[in-house]
Chains A and B, each alone.
Chain A
Amino acid sequence: MYLSRFRVNTGRPAARRLLSSPQALHAAVMSSFPSLLPSDLPAPESPRVLWRLEQKARAEVLLYVVSPDRPDMTHLVEQAGWPAVADPENPGWHTRSYKPFLDRLTTGQHWGFRLTANPVHTIRRTDDEPKKITAHLTPTHQRGWLLDPDRQARCGFRILQKPDSERLLPDSTAPGGAAQGDRHELAVSDMRPLSFDKSRGHDGKRRGKPVTVVTVTFDGRLEVTDPTALRRALTQGIGRARAYGCGLLTLAPINQPPRPTP
Protein backbone atom coordinates (compact mmCIF):
# COMPACT_ATOMS: atom_id res chain seq x y z
CA MET A 1 0.00 0.00 0.00
CA TYR A 2 1.08 3.56 -0.68
CA LEU A 3 0.11 6.93 0.72
CA SER A 4 0.50 9.87 -1.66
CA ARG A 5 0.02 13.58 -1.44
CA PHE A 6 -0.39 15.99 -4.30
CA ARG A 7 -0.75 19.73 -3.95
CA VAL A 8 -3.21 21.23 -6.40
CA ASN A 9 -2.25 24.43 -8.20
CA THR A 10 -5.53 26.24 -7.69
CA GLY A 11 -4.59 29.00 -10.10
CA ARG A 12 -5.03 26.76 -13.12
CA PRO A 13 -8.37 26.38 -14.88
CA ALA A 14 -7.94 22.61 -15.16
CA ALA A 15 -7.45 22.41 -11.38
CA ARG A 16 -10.66 24.29 -10.82
CA ARG A 17 -12.48 21.93 -13.13
CA LEU A 18 -11.15 18.94 -11.18
CA LEU A 19 -11.98 20.50 -7.82
CA SER A 20 -15.51 21.33 -8.89
CA SER A 21 -16.43 17.78 -9.78
CA PRO A 22 -15.73 14.81 -7.53
CA GLN A 23 -16.43 12.63 -10.52
CA ALA A 24 -13.80 14.25 -12.72
CA LEU A 25 -11.29 14.13 -9.87
CA HIS A 26 -12.05 10.47 -9.23
CA ALA A 27 -11.40 9.72 -12.88
CA ALA A 28 -8.12 11.65 -12.70
CA VAL A 29 -7.03 9.82 -9.55
CA MET A 30 -7.90 6.44 -11.03
CA SER A 31 -5.85 7.29 -14.13
CA SER A 32 -2.77 7.39 -11.89
CA PHE A 33 -2.68 3.60 -11.93
CA PRO A 34 -1.53 2.17 -15.26
CA SER A 35 -2.64 -1.34 -14.35
CA LEU A 36 -6.23 -0.29 -13.67
CA LEU A 37 -8.73 -0.17 -16.48
CA PRO A 38 -11.60 2.30 -16.24
CA SER A 39 -13.98 -0.64 -16.50
CA ASP A 40 -12.43 -2.41 -13.47
CA LEU A 41 -14.74 -2.49 -10.50
CA PRO A 42 -13.11 -2.53 -7.09
CA ALA A 43 -13.20 -6.09 -5.77
CA PRO A 44 -15.15 -6.36 -2.55
CA GLU A 45 -13.12 -6.96 0.62
CA SER A 46 -9.82 -5.96 -0.93
CA PRO A 47 -7.74 -2.78 -0.73
CA ARG A 48 -8.88 -0.08 -3.11
CA VAL A 49 -7.96 3.39 -4.18
CA LEU A 50 -9.20 5.98 -1.71
CA TRP A 51 -8.74 9.72 -1.92
CA ARG A 52 -9.57 12.87 -0.05
CA LEU A 53 -9.25 16.60 -0.67
CA GLU A 54 -8.13 18.89 2.10
CA GLN A 55 -8.28 22.64 1.88
CA LYS A 56 -5.93 24.12 4.45
CA ALA A 57 -5.95 27.66 3.11
CA ARG A 58 -7.53 29.37 0.14
CA ALA A 59 -4.72 28.34 -2.19
CA GLU A 60 -3.48 25.28 -0.34
CA VAL A 61 -5.47 22.27 -1.48
CA LEU A 62 -3.99 18.83 -0.89
CA LEU A 63 -5.08 15.59 -2.44
CA TYR A 64 -4.34 12.48 -0.37
CA VAL A 65 -4.49 9.08 -2.03
CA VAL A 66 -4.16 5.63 -0.47
CA SER A 67 -3.70 2.93 -3.06
CA PRO A 68 -2.59 -0.71 -3.44
CA ASP A 69 -0.28 0.24 -6.33
CA ARG A 70 2.27 2.99 -6.60
CA PRO A 71 0.62 5.95 -8.37
CA ASP A 72 2.02 7.90 -11.29
CA MET A 73 0.46 11.33 -11.00
CA THR A 74 2.35 12.91 -13.87
CA HIS A 75 -0.87 13.70 -15.71
CA LEU A 76 -2.24 15.45 -12.61
CA VAL A 77 0.93 17.54 -12.35
CA GLU A 78 0.59 18.44 -16.01
CA GLN A 79 -3.05 19.42 -15.69
CA ALA A 80 -3.22 20.91 -12.24
CA GLY A 81 0.25 21.08 -10.73
CA TRP A 82 3.57 22.79 -11.36
CA PRO A 83 5.06 20.81 -14.28
CA ALA A 84 7.86 23.33 -14.95
CA VAL A 85 9.54 22.71 -11.59
CA ALA A 86 9.02 18.94 -11.61
CA ASP A 87 12.16 16.82 -12.05
CA PRO A 88 12.84 13.10 -11.58
CA GLU A 89 13.89 13.71 -7.96
CA ASN A 90 10.83 15.75 -7.16
CA PRO A 91 8.05 14.76 -9.56
CA GLY A 92 5.44 17.08 -8.08
CA TRP A 93 3.79 14.66 -5.72
CA HIS A 94 4.94 12.71 -2.73
CA THR A 95 4.50 8.96 -2.21
CA ARG A 96 5.49 6.82 0.73
CA SER A 97 5.12 3.19 1.59
CA TYR A 98 2.15 2.56 3.87
CA LYS A 99 2.82 -1.06 4.75
CA PRO A 100 5.42 -0.60 7.54
CA PHE A 101 3.02 1.79 9.23
CA LEU A 102 0.09 -0.62 8.88
CA ASP A 103 2.24 -3.43 10.30
CA ARG A 104 3.14 -1.34 13.34
CA LEU A 105 -0.49 -0.84 14.42
CA THR A 106 -1.14 -2.63 17.69
CA THR A 107 -4.00 -2.75 20.16
CA GLY A 108 -4.04 0.11 22.65
CA GLN A 109 -2.21 2.69 20.53
CA HIS A 110 -3.63 6.21 20.49
CA TRP A 111 -3.74 8.17 17.25
CA GLY A 112 -5.19 11.40 15.99
CA PHE A 113 -7.39 10.79 12.97
CA ARG A 114 -9.11 12.56 10.12
CA LEU A 115 -11.89 11.13 8.03
CA THR A 116 -14.03 12.71 5.35
CA ALA A 117 -17.14 10.61 5.08
CA ASN A 118 -20.70 10.47 3.82
CA PRO A 119 -22.84 9.70 6.89
CA VAL A 120 -26.18 8.26 5.86
CA HIS A 121 -28.95 6.12 7.25
CA THR A 122 -31.86 4.25 5.74
CA ILE A 123 -35.29 5.55 6.65
CA ARG A 124 -38.86 5.87 5.51
CA ARG A 125 -41.34 8.48 6.62
CA THR A 126 -44.44 6.29 6.56
CA ASP A 127 -44.86 2.54 6.92
CA ASP A 128 -45.92 1.97 3.31
CA GLU A 129 -43.04 3.96 1.80
CA PRO A 130 -39.96 2.19 0.43
CA LYS A 131 -36.85 2.71 2.52
CA LYS A 132 -34.46 5.35 1.23
CA ILE A 133 -30.85 6.21 1.90
CA THR A 134 -30.82 9.64 3.49
CA ALA A 135 -27.93 11.83 4.58
CA HIS A 136 -27.40 12.86 8.20
CA LEU A 137 -27.58 16.63 8.17
CA THR A 138 -26.97 17.76 11.75
CA PRO A 139 -23.61 17.54 13.53
CA THR A 140 -25.26 15.55 16.32
CA HIS A 141 -26.47 12.88 13.92
CA GLN A 142 -23.21 12.94 12.02
CA ARG A 143 -21.28 12.37 15.25
CA GLY A 144 -23.74 9.64 16.15
CA TRP A 145 -23.05 7.94 12.83
CA LEU A 146 -19.34 7.60 13.58
CA LEU A 147 -19.83 6.95 17.31
CA ASP A 148 -22.14 4.00 16.58
CA PRO A 149 -20.56 1.18 18.66
CA ASP A 150 -21.06 -1.37 15.85
CA ARG A 151 -19.30 0.86 13.35
CA GLN A 152 -16.41 1.51 15.73
CA ALA A 153 -16.03 -2.22 16.43
CA ARG A 154 -16.19 -3.02 12.73
CA CYS A 155 -13.49 -0.47 11.97
CA GLY A 156 -11.28 -1.65 14.82
CA PHE A 157 -11.07 1.54 16.87
CA ARG A 158 -12.69 3.32 19.76
CA ILE A 159 -13.03 7.09 19.83
CA LEU A 160 -11.49 8.41 23.02
CA GLN A 161 -13.53 10.20 25.63
CA LYS A 162 -12.42 13.51 27.03
CA PRO A 163 -11.22 13.79 30.60
CA ASP A 164 -13.85 15.40 32.81
CA SER A 165 -11.79 18.55 33.22
CA GLU A 166 -11.94 19.33 29.50
CA ARG A 167 -15.66 18.94 29.06
CA LEU A 168 -17.70 22.07 28.85
CA LEU A 169 -20.77 20.46 30.39
CA PRO A 170 -20.95 17.93 33.18
CA ASP A 171 -22.45 14.62 32.09
CA SER A 172 -25.58 15.12 34.14
CA THR A 173 -26.60 18.23 32.19
CA ALA A 174 -25.98 16.87 28.70
CA PRO A 175 -29.26 15.50 27.38
CA GLY A 176 -29.59 12.87 24.71
CA GLY A 177 -27.37 10.00 23.75
CA ALA A 178 -23.63 9.58 23.53
CA ALA A 179 -23.48 11.72 20.41
CA GLN A 180 -24.68 14.73 22.37
CA GLY A 181 -22.46 17.31 23.92
CA ASP A 182 -18.72 17.14 23.90
CA ARG A 183 -18.10 13.82 25.57
CA HIS A 184 -15.74 12.49 22.91
CA GLU A 185 -12.52 13.67 21.29
CA LEU A 186 -14.36 14.25 18.05
CA ALA A 187 -15.04 17.35 16.00
CA VAL A 188 -17.27 17.56 12.95
CA SER A 189 -16.56 20.26 10.41
CA ASP A 190 -16.75 21.30 6.81
CA MET A 191 -20.13 19.89 5.78
CA ARG A 192 -20.48 20.00 1.98
CA PRO A 193 -23.63 19.13 0.13
CA LEU A 194 -22.31 18.05 -3.28
CA SER A 195 -24.51 17.73 -6.30
CA PHE A 196 -23.20 16.80 -9.71
CA ASP A 197 -24.23 15.04 -12.87
CA LYS A 198 -22.96 11.55 -13.25
CA SER A 199 -23.21 11.64 -17.00
CA ARG A 200 -24.56 13.77 -19.77
CA GLY A 201 -25.89 12.72 -23.12
CA HIS A 202 -24.38 13.79 -26.44
CA ASP A 203 -26.73 16.75 -26.56
CA GLY A 204 -25.32 17.99 -23.24
CA LYS A 205 -28.53 17.32 -21.37
CA ARG A 206 -28.34 15.38 -18.17
CA ARG A 207 -29.59 11.85 -18.01
CA GLY A 208 -31.58 11.16 -14.91
CA LYS A 209 -31.18 12.88 -11.58
CA PRO A 210 -27.96 14.48 -10.36
CA VAL A 211 -25.89 12.62 -7.77
CA THR A 212 -26.15 14.23 -4.34
CA VAL A 213 -23.67 13.44 -1.61
CA VAL A 214 -23.29 15.15 1.75
CA THR A 215 -19.72 14.97 3.06
CA VAL A 216 -18.37 15.98 6.45
CA THR A 217 -14.91 15.86 7.96
CA PHE A 218 -14.33 14.21 11.32
CA ASP A 219 -11.27 15.02 13.41
CA GLY A 220 -10.49 13.34 16.67
CA ARG A 221 -8.53 10.82 18.63
CA LEU A 222 -8.93 7.07 18.67
CA GLU A 223 -7.61 4.01 20.40
CA VAL A 224 -6.82 0.92 18.35
CA THR A 225 -8.96 -2.00 19.52
CA ASP A 226 -8.52 -4.41 16.62
CA PRO A 227 -5.47 -3.82 14.37
CA THR A 228 -6.70 -6.19 11.65
CA ALA A 229 -10.06 -4.47 11.39
CA LEU A 230 -8.41 -1.05 11.49
CA ARG A 231 -6.03 -2.03 8.66
CA ARG A 232 -9.08 -3.03 6.67
CA ALA A 233 -10.75 0.31 7.41
CA LEU A 234 -7.59 2.20 6.45
CA THR A 235 -7.17 0.41 3.12
CA GLN A 236 -10.80 -0.22 2.15
CA GLY A 237 -12.46 2.91 3.48
CA ILE A 238 -15.38 3.68 5.74
CA GLY A 239 -18.93 4.30 4.63
CA ARG A 240 -20.41 5.22 1.29
CA ALA A 241 -19.37 7.40 -1.65
CA ARG A 242 -15.78 6.17 -1.58
CA ALA A 243 -15.45 7.04 -5.26
CA TYR A 244 -16.30 10.67 -4.45
CA GLY A 245 -13.58 11.47 -1.95
CA CYS A 246 -15.17 9.86 1.09
CA GLY A 247 -14.09 7.11 3.44
CA LEU A 248 -10.32 7.66 3.59
CA LEU A 249 -9.22 7.46 7.22
CA THR A 250 -5.74 8.73 8.04
CA LEU A 251 -3.85 8.60 11.32
CA ALA A 252 -1.23 10.93 12.73
CA PRO A 253 0.65 10.93 16.02
CA ILE A 254 -0.95 12.90 18.82
CA ASN A 255 1.51 15.63 19.68
CA GLN A 256 -0.65 18.56 20.62
CA PRO A 257 -3.90 18.97 22.51
CA PRO A 258 -6.91 18.80 20.16
CA ARG A 259 -8.17 22.21 21.17
CA PRO A 260 -6.26 25.11 22.65
CA THR A 261 -7.12 26.34 26.09
CA PRO A 262 -9.21 29.53 26.12
Chain B
Amino acid sequence: MSSSASVLALRLAGPLQSWGASSRFTRRTTETAPTKSGVIGLLAAAAGIDREDDDSLAPLTHLRFGVRIDQPGTLLRDFHTAHHGVTGKSMPLSERYYLADAVFVAAVEGDPALLSRLHTALRNPVYLPFLGRRSCPPAAPLEPHLREHTCLEDVLRDLPWQASPWYRRRHRNHPPGRLTVLREKGADEKNPADTLTDQPLSFSAAHRRHTLRTVVTDAVPVPAAAGEHIPDHDPFTALIDDPELLDGETV
Protein backbone atom coordinates (compact mmCIF):
# COMPACT_ATOMS: atom_id res chain seq x y z
CA MET B 1 0.00 0.00 0.00
CA SER B 2 3.01 2.27 0.34
CA SER B 3 3.10 5.01 -2.26
CA SER B 4 6.62 4.05 -3.31
CA ALA B 5 5.28 0.92 -5.00
CA SER B 6 4.53 0.49 -8.68
CA VAL B 7 1.63 -1.39 -10.20
CA LEU B 8 1.76 -3.39 -13.43
CA ALA B 9 -1.65 -4.02 -14.98
CA LEU B 10 -2.46 -6.48 -17.78
CA ARG B 11 -5.53 -7.01 -19.91
CA LEU B 12 -6.28 -10.72 -20.09
CA ALA B 13 -8.70 -11.43 -22.92
CA GLY B 14 -9.05 -14.41 -25.19
CA PRO B 15 -11.56 -16.79 -26.70
CA LEU B 16 -10.71 -19.31 -23.99
CA GLN B 17 -8.99 -18.97 -20.64
CA SER B 18 -8.53 -21.52 -17.92
CA TRP B 19 -7.28 -20.72 -14.45
CA GLY B 20 -7.07 -23.79 -12.26
CA ALA B 21 -6.33 -23.43 -8.56
CA SER B 22 -7.33 -26.82 -7.24
CA SER B 23 -7.74 -29.09 -10.24
CA ARG B 24 -6.36 -32.56 -9.96
CA PHE B 25 -6.20 -35.63 -12.20
CA THR B 26 -8.71 -35.82 -15.04
CA ARG B 27 -11.10 -33.13 -13.89
CA ARG B 28 -9.43 -29.84 -14.82
CA THR B 29 -11.58 -27.08 -13.38
CA THR B 30 -11.16 -23.34 -13.69
CA GLU B 31 -11.68 -20.49 -11.25
CA THR B 32 -13.89 -17.63 -12.38
CA ALA B 33 -10.95 -15.22 -12.43
CA PRO B 34 -7.22 -15.46 -13.16
CA THR B 35 -5.18 -17.05 -10.38
CA LYS B 36 -2.05 -15.58 -8.90
CA SER B 37 -0.01 -18.63 -9.92
CA GLY B 38 -1.24 -18.28 -13.50
CA VAL B 39 -0.36 -14.60 -13.80
CA ILE B 40 2.96 -14.88 -11.93
CA GLY B 41 3.78 -17.83 -14.19
CA LEU B 42 2.98 -15.69 -17.25
CA LEU B 43 5.28 -12.93 -15.99
CA ALA B 44 8.05 -15.39 -15.12
CA ALA B 45 7.76 -16.97 -18.56
CA ALA B 46 8.00 -13.56 -20.24
CA ALA B 47 11.12 -12.81 -18.18
CA GLY B 48 12.60 -16.18 -19.16
CA ILE B 49 12.79 -17.66 -15.64
CA ASP B 50 13.19 -21.43 -15.88
CA ARG B 51 10.72 -23.72 -14.16
CA GLU B 52 13.41 -25.12 -11.86
CA ASP B 53 14.78 -21.68 -10.92
CA ASP B 54 12.92 -21.07 -7.64
CA ASP B 55 15.37 -18.39 -6.47
CA SER B 56 14.61 -16.07 -9.39
CA LEU B 57 10.91 -16.81 -8.99
CA ALA B 58 10.78 -15.84 -5.31
CA PRO B 59 10.70 -12.04 -5.74
CA LEU B 60 7.83 -12.38 -8.22
CA THR B 61 5.75 -14.43 -5.82
CA HIS B 62 6.01 -11.65 -3.22
CA LEU B 63 4.17 -9.18 -5.45
CA ARG B 64 0.69 -8.31 -4.23
CA PHE B 65 -1.90 -9.55 -6.71
CA GLY B 66 -5.38 -8.38 -7.67
CA VAL B 67 -7.78 -8.95 -10.52
CA ARG B 68 -10.88 -7.18 -11.79
CA ILE B 69 -13.61 -9.04 -13.67
CA ASP B 70 -14.51 -6.76 -16.58
CA GLN B 71 -16.46 -9.33 -18.57
CA PRO B 72 -17.21 -12.57 -16.72
CA GLY B 73 -17.45 -14.89 -19.72
CA THR B 74 -19.22 -18.23 -19.71
CA LEU B 75 -18.08 -21.58 -18.41
CA LEU B 76 -17.36 -24.14 -21.12
CA ARG B 77 -16.92 -27.85 -20.47
CA ASP B 78 -14.80 -29.87 -22.85
CA PHE B 79 -15.05 -33.65 -22.78
CA HIS B 80 -11.51 -34.32 -23.80
CA THR B 81 -10.80 -37.49 -25.82
CA ALA B 82 -7.28 -36.92 -27.10
CA HIS B 83 -5.12 -39.54 -28.76
CA HIS B 84 -1.37 -39.70 -28.70
CA GLY B 85 -0.02 -38.12 -31.84
CA VAL B 86 2.55 -40.82 -32.58
CA THR B 87 1.28 -44.07 -31.14
CA GLY B 88 -2.43 -43.32 -31.68
CA LYS B 89 -3.20 -44.63 -28.20
CA SER B 90 -6.04 -42.89 -26.44
CA MET B 91 -5.08 -40.59 -23.58
CA PRO B 92 -7.09 -40.65 -20.34
CA LEU B 93 -10.58 -39.24 -20.76
CA SER B 94 -10.74 -35.89 -19.01
CA GLU B 95 -13.09 -32.99 -18.43
CA ARG B 96 -11.57 -29.62 -19.05
CA TYR B 97 -13.29 -26.40 -18.10
CA TYR B 98 -12.68 -23.06 -19.78
CA LEU B 99 -13.94 -19.50 -19.48
CA ALA B 100 -15.14 -18.44 -22.91
CA ASP B 101 -15.09 -14.79 -23.97
CA ALA B 102 -13.95 -13.35 -20.65
CA VAL B 103 -11.95 -10.17 -20.08
CA PHE B 104 -9.98 -9.42 -16.93
CA VAL B 105 -7.60 -6.80 -15.67
CA ALA B 106 -4.87 -8.39 -13.56
CA ALA B 107 -2.47 -6.23 -11.59
CA VAL B 108 0.58 -6.84 -9.44
CA GLU B 109 1.98 -4.35 -6.96
CA GLY B 110 5.53 -4.22 -5.68
CA ASP B 111 9.12 -3.15 -6.19
CA PRO B 112 9.32 -0.54 -9.02
CA ALA B 113 12.61 -1.88 -10.42
CA LEU B 114 11.30 -5.45 -10.66
CA LEU B 115 8.02 -4.35 -12.26
CA SER B 116 9.81 -2.18 -14.76
CA ARG B 117 11.94 -5.21 -15.74
CA LEU B 118 8.80 -7.35 -16.12
CA HIS B 119 7.13 -4.59 -18.13
CA THR B 120 10.04 -4.63 -20.59
CA ALA B 121 10.02 -8.43 -20.65
CA LEU B 122 6.31 -8.54 -21.56
CA ARG B 123 6.98 -6.48 -24.66
CA ASN B 124 9.68 -8.87 -25.76
CA PRO B 125 8.86 -12.14 -23.99
CA VAL B 126 11.26 -15.09 -23.82
CA TYR B 127 8.40 -17.63 -23.61
CA LEU B 128 5.08 -16.59 -25.09
CA PRO B 129 2.26 -15.69 -22.70
CA PHE B 130 -0.87 -17.83 -22.46
CA LEU B 131 -4.03 -17.52 -20.41
CA GLY B 132 -3.74 -20.30 -17.84
CA ARG B 133 -3.29 -23.15 -20.26
CA ARG B 134 -0.91 -23.46 -23.20
CA SER B 135 -3.83 -23.91 -25.61
CA CYS B 136 -5.33 -20.52 -24.64
CA PRO B 137 -3.47 -17.71 -26.37
CA PRO B 138 -4.43 -14.10 -25.64
CA ALA B 139 -6.67 -12.52 -28.25
CA ALA B 140 -4.90 -9.18 -28.15
CA PRO B 141 -1.68 -7.75 -26.77
CA LEU B 142 -1.74 -7.74 -22.98
CA GLU B 143 -1.07 -4.00 -23.18
CA PRO B 144 1.16 -4.01 -20.14
CA HIS B 145 0.65 -0.78 -18.34
CA LEU B 146 3.00 0.38 -15.60
CA ARG B 147 2.06 3.01 -13.04
CA GLU B 148 4.38 4.37 -10.41
CA HIS B 149 3.65 5.62 -6.89
CA THR B 150 0.25 4.10 -6.61
CA CYS B 151 -1.46 1.09 -5.12
CA LEU B 152 -3.34 -1.90 -6.46
CA GLU B 153 -6.74 -0.67 -5.29
CA ASP B 154 -6.40 2.67 -7.10
CA VAL B 155 -5.30 1.14 -10.40
CA LEU B 156 -8.09 -1.45 -10.38
CA ARG B 157 -10.59 1.32 -9.63
CA ASP B 158 -9.35 3.76 -12.29
CA LEU B 159 -8.40 1.70 -15.33
CA PRO B 160 -11.02 2.05 -18.08
CA TRP B 161 -13.54 -0.75 -18.47
CA GLN B 162 -11.97 -3.29 -20.82
CA ALA B 163 -15.04 -5.28 -21.88
CA SER B 164 -15.39 -5.97 -25.61
CA PRO B 165 -17.47 -3.61 -27.74
CA TRP B 166 -20.23 -6.21 -28.26
CA TYR B 167 -20.50 -6.72 -24.50
CA ARG B 168 -20.67 -3.00 -23.83
CA ARG B 169 -23.33 -2.64 -26.53
CA ARG B 170 -25.40 -5.44 -25.05
CA HIS B 171 -25.25 -3.82 -21.61
CA ARG B 172 -25.76 -0.27 -22.82
CA ASN B 173 -29.25 -0.07 -21.30
CA HIS B 174 -28.55 -2.23 -18.25
CA PRO B 175 -24.92 -1.64 -17.37
CA PRO B 176 -23.45 -3.84 -14.69
CA GLY B 177 -23.51 -1.69 -11.58
CA ARG B 178 -20.13 -2.70 -10.26
CA LEU B 179 -17.17 -4.82 -11.24
CA THR B 180 -15.89 -7.49 -8.88
CA VAL B 181 -12.33 -7.11 -7.66
CA LEU B 182 -10.50 -10.04 -6.07
CA ARG B 183 -7.29 -8.96 -4.43
CA GLU B 184 -4.78 -9.94 -1.81
CA LYS B 185 -5.00 -8.33 1.58
CA GLY B 186 -2.93 -5.21 2.14
CA ALA B 187 -0.21 -5.21 4.78
CA ASP B 188 -2.30 -3.64 7.56
CA GLU B 189 -5.78 -4.57 6.42
CA LYS B 190 -8.37 -6.12 8.75
CA ASN B 191 -11.07 -7.10 6.21
CA PRO B 192 -12.31 -10.66 6.35
CA ALA B 193 -10.77 -12.69 3.58
CA ASP B 194 -11.03 -16.05 1.87
CA THR B 195 -8.08 -18.17 0.93
CA LEU B 196 -7.10 -19.82 -2.31
CA THR B 197 -4.25 -22.27 -2.95
CA ASP B 198 -2.60 -20.37 -5.75
CA GLN B 199 0.41 -18.70 -4.13
CA PRO B 200 3.22 -20.26 -6.18
CA LEU B 201 6.27 -21.68 -4.41
CA SER B 202 7.78 -23.59 -7.30
CA PHE B 203 6.85 -24.21 -10.92
CA SER B 204 9.23 -27.14 -11.14
CA ALA B 205 7.93 -29.60 -13.72
CA ALA B 206 8.54 -32.49 -11.36
CA HIS B 207 6.83 -31.00 -8.32
CA ARG B 208 4.73 -27.86 -8.51
CA ARG B 209 4.01 -26.42 -5.11
CA HIS B 210 1.52 -23.80 -4.05
CA THR B 211 0.43 -22.41 -0.75
CA LEU B 212 -2.49 -20.37 0.51
CA ARG B 213 -3.03 -16.69 -0.13
CA THR B 214 -5.75 -14.33 1.00
CA VAL B 215 -8.52 -13.17 -1.31
CA VAL B 216 -10.56 -10.08 -0.43
CA THR B 217 -13.69 -9.67 -2.55
CA ASP B 218 -14.49 -6.08 -3.37
CA ALA B 219 -16.50 -4.22 -5.96
CA VAL B 220 -15.75 -1.00 -7.78
CA PRO B 221 -18.10 1.20 -9.80
CA VAL B 222 -17.76 0.59 -13.53
CA PRO B 223 -15.18 3.08 -14.82
CA ALA B 224 -15.80 4.72 -18.15
CA ALA B 225 -14.84 2.45 -21.00
CA ALA B 226 -11.87 3.42 -23.07
CA GLY B 227 -13.42 5.23 -26.02
CA GLU B 228 -12.53 4.33 -29.55
CA HIS B 229 -8.95 5.31 -30.03
CA ILE B 230 -10.01 7.88 -32.63
CA PRO B 231 -9.66 11.20 -30.83
CA ASP B 232 -12.20 13.95 -31.00
CA HIS B 233 -11.32 16.31 -33.75
CA ASP B 234 -12.73 19.83 -33.90
CA PRO B 235 -10.91 21.99 -36.45
CA PHE B 236 -12.71 25.06 -35.11
CA THR B 237 -10.67 24.97 -31.91
CA ALA B 238 -7.61 26.06 -33.89
CA LEU B 239 -9.33 29.17 -35.25
CA ILE B 240 -9.53 32.51 -33.55
CA ASP B 241 -13.09 33.39 -32.60
CA ASP B 242 -13.35 36.95 -33.89
CA PRO B 243 -16.43 37.76 -35.97
CA GLU B 244 -14.81 40.89 -37.35
CA LEU B 245 -12.28 38.77 -39.16
CA LEU B 246 -15.07 37.24 -41.20
CA ASP B 247 -15.84 40.34 -43.18
CA GLY B 248 -13.91 41.91 -45.98
CA GLU B 249 -11.41 39.12 -46.16
CA THR B 250 -9.54 38.32 -49.33
CA VAL B 251 -7.68 35.14 -50.10
Chain A contact residues, CB within 8 Å of chain B: 1-3, 5, 47, 64, 68, 70, 94-101, 111-114, 168-170, 173, 187, 189, 219, 250-253, 256, 258-262
Contacts and interface: CB of A to CB of B under 8 A. Distances in A.
A260 B228 CA distance: 9
B236 interface: yes
B240 A260 contact: no
A256 B227 CA distance: 13
Contact of A251 (B123, B229, B235, B251): B235
Given A3-B239, A101-B238, A253-B237, A95 B246 contact: yes
What 7 A-B pairs come out closest when comparing CB atoms? A250-B235, A259-B229, A262-B143, A97-B245, A114-B233, A260-B226, A96-B239
Contact of B239 (A47, A70, A97, A256): A97
Interface string B102-138: 0001000000000000000001100000000000000
Given A96-B246, A170-B124, A260 B160 contact: yes
Interface of B is mostly: loop
B246 A70 contact: yes
Nearest to B159: A262
Contacts of B245: 96-97, 99-100
A232 B246 CA distance: 21
Contacts of B242: 97, 100
Given A68-B251, A96-B246, A258 B231 contact: yes
B162 interface: yes
Contacts of A64: 235
| Contact-size category for B | 20 to 34
Interface of B: 9, 11, 105, 123-124, 141, 143, 145, 159-160, 162, 226-242, 245-246, 249, 251
Given A1-B251, A168-B141, A168-B143, A258 B235 contact: no
Contacts of A1: 251
Contacts of A94: 236
B233 A219 contact: yes
Contacts of B124: 170, 173
Contacts of A100: 239-240, 242, 245
A252 B229 contact: no
Nearest to A4: B236
A262 B240 CA distance: 35
17 contacts: A3-B235, A5-B236, A47-B251, A70-B246, A95-B246, A97-B245, A97-B249, A99-B249, A99-B251, A101-B239, A173-B124, A189-B230, A219-B231, A250-B233, A251-B235, A260-B229, A262-B159
B249 A170 contact: no
Contacts of B249: 2, 70, 97, 99
B160 A258 contact: no
B206 to A, nearest CB: 33
Contacts of A168: 141, 143
B121 to A, nearest CB: 12
A216 B237 CA distance: 23
Given A219-B231, A250-B233, A170 B123 contact: yes
B235 A256 contact: no
A198 B235 CA distance: 31
Contacts of B160: 260-262
B141 A112 contact: no
A4 to B, nearest CB: 10
Point out which of A97, A114, A251, A262 has the most chain B C-beta atoms below 10 A from its C-beta: A262
Contacts of B241: 96
Given A258-B231, A262-B159, A252 B237 contact: yes
B210 to A, nearest CB: 28
Given A98-B239, A100-B239, A253-B238, A262 B230 contact: no
Contacts of B123: 169-170
Contacts of B239: 3, 96-98, 100-101
A130 B234 CA distance: 42
Given A70-B249, A96-B246, A262-B159, 6 more contacts: A1-B251, A100-B240, A101-B240, A170-B124, A261-B159, A262-B105
A100 B238 CA distance: 10
B7 to A, nearest CB: 12
Contacts of A253: 237-238
A23 to B, nearest CB: 25
